[in-house]
Amino acid sequence: MKLLLDAHALLWWFTDDTRLPATARQAIADERNEIFVSAASAWEIATKQRIGKLEEVPEAARRFAELVEADGFLHLPISHLHALRAGGYPSSHRDPFDRVLAAQSELDSLVLLTCDPAFADFPCQTFW
């Protein structure tokens, strides 16, 4: 399976947070799965740290690449195709990070690992 981690799933994985359920942990840890991390998650984490919303993981933005690569995850850049699809969704959901993740999941045939119910408004497959 090819999984795309939502930012909260990534952060909970990094911090071994109990909010990440066993099924999600198993999917991330399964070496048969390819795990992708979007540039949108880096952007979201940096933004939330800047405004003081991620005090529990103070090093997440500065060490983002190192943490992603240490777990063998793959960086997923944002292309113009992702941006156009994200901007063109008819959904009223306004979160730009979620819109990009939905577009990447849809266009790149990735299963989005998330607990966010907002993704039900997008044509992407989710797991959790």
Q: State residue 50's pLDDT score.
A: 94
pLDDT of residue 121: 93
Structure tokens at 43: 């952007």
pLDDT tens string, the chain, 128 residues long: the values are: 999 999 999 999 999 999 999 999 999 999 999 999 999 999 999 999 999 998 888 889 999 999 999 999 999 999 999 999 999 999 889 999 999 999 999 999 999 999 999 999 999 999 99
Encoding tokens for residue 13? 């994985």
pLDDT score at 55:
85
H-assigned helices in the chain = 7-14, 22-29, 39-50, 64-70, 80-88, 96-107
DSSP one-letter code for 5: E
- Residues 2-127: name the CATH superfamily: 5'-nuclease (3.40.50.1010)
What spatial distance separates the first Cα and last Cα of the chain, rounded to whole Å? Answer: 14
Cβ contact 99:86 at 8 Å: yes
* pLDDT value at residue 21: 97
H or E stretch covering 112: strand 111-113
> Could you tell me the pTM of the whole model?
0.95
CA dist 75 and 4 (Å) reads 10
Residue-range domain boundaries for the chain: 2-127
